[in-house]
Amino acid sequence: MSMLEVEGVSKRFGGIQALQGCSLSVEHGSVTGLIGPNGSGKTTLFNVVTGYARPDAGTVRFEGTAIDNLPPDRILALGIGRTFQMVRIFPRLTVLENMHVPVRRQGLAGVLSGASTHEERARVLDLLRFVGLERLKNEPAGNLSFGQRRLLEIACVLMAGPRVILLDEPGGGVNPTMLRAIAGHIRELNGQGITFFVVEHNMGFVMELCHRVIVMHRGSVIAQGDPEAVRRDPAVLEAYLGE
């Protein structure tokens, strides 16, 4: 059984068919890439998998259990974490405060009152150290560079203890040095057993990091396989040249 199984998923927005009978799977322990021209449905697929969009048809299974009717917080609690193409952090909260947001049920008031357990605070510091943001812990997150915000978002997701993480363009707006750092973190976390499903336009990043690559075009999967084979696939070249 695959970790994540998407079967025949369709999603329409008004006149736009964003997903059309999309089927794919992500294997346990893999780093799986998801590529395709702009508008091919990658973010919509991530939204469906993580509960931010309801599919019109089809199913999504996590370890064999259908999850396509669950809300985002339930899906996160099951072990599926994600980051967003447009980074979602709270710019006026400090780096530390941002780290407490995902685990705080009582909402922002709880974060600001500092009501966290000793273990939780230790874990926050461990994760900030891991992504290299510990010395910035008391800075408002709005002062961070774009790349540092992406690292903070990854650290926030890790607070929930996910078993698979979906990253939507982690390299977007990030300089090459920072992108290499992000790739290093992904590799290390993958070595610890976390599965990754990653949308990224930087081909060097995808080729180096991914065990398997899935290609979408107009809402459906048009190719999949090892990175080299996918890169040479004429259908893939045609999809990119045609857009």
Ligand X SMILES: Nc1ncnc2c1ncn2[C@@H]1O[C@H](COP(=O)(O)OP(=O)(O)O)[C@@H](O)[C@H]1O
Q: Tell me if residue 96 falls in helix, strand or coil.
A: helix
When the beta carbons of 37 and 81 are compared against Mg ion, the nearer one is 37
Q: Which does 102 bind (CB under 5 to 8 A by kind): ligand X, Mg ion, none?
A: none
- Name the one range near Mg ion by CB under 5 A: 34-42, 56-64, 69-77, 125-133: 34-42
Our CB check for ligand X shows the closer of 218 and 231 to be 218
**Contact at 8 Å (CB) between 226 and 211?**
yes
Q: What three-state secondary structure class fits 8?
A: strand
Q: What are 4's strand-pairing partners? A: 26, 62
Residue 60, H or E segment: strand 57-62
Q: How far is the CB of 85 from Mg ion (least distance, A)?
A: 5
Q: How far is the CB of 19 from ligand X (least distance, A)?
A: 8
For residue 82, list its beta bridge partners.
166
Distance between CA atoms of residues 28 and 241, nearest Å: 33
Cβ neighbours around 188 below 10 Å, total: 11
Instruction: Pick one of 32, 43, 116, 195: the residue that binds Mg ion (CB under 5 A).
Output: 43
Of residues 42 and 100, the one with the C-beta less far from Mg ion: 42
Minimum distance between the CB of residue 117 and ligand X, rounded to whole angstroms? 37
User: Can you give the binding site for ligand X, defined by CB under 6 A?
Assistant: 13, 16, 18, 36, 38-44
DSSP 83: -
Residue (46 or 62) nearer to ligand X, CB: 46
- Of 37, 66, 18, which is closest to residue 10 (Cα–Cα)? 18
Q: Which is nearer to ligand X, 13 or 240 (CB)?
A: 13
- Looking at beta carbons, which residue is closest to Mg ion? 43
Binding residues for Mg ion (CB under 5 A): 42-43, 85
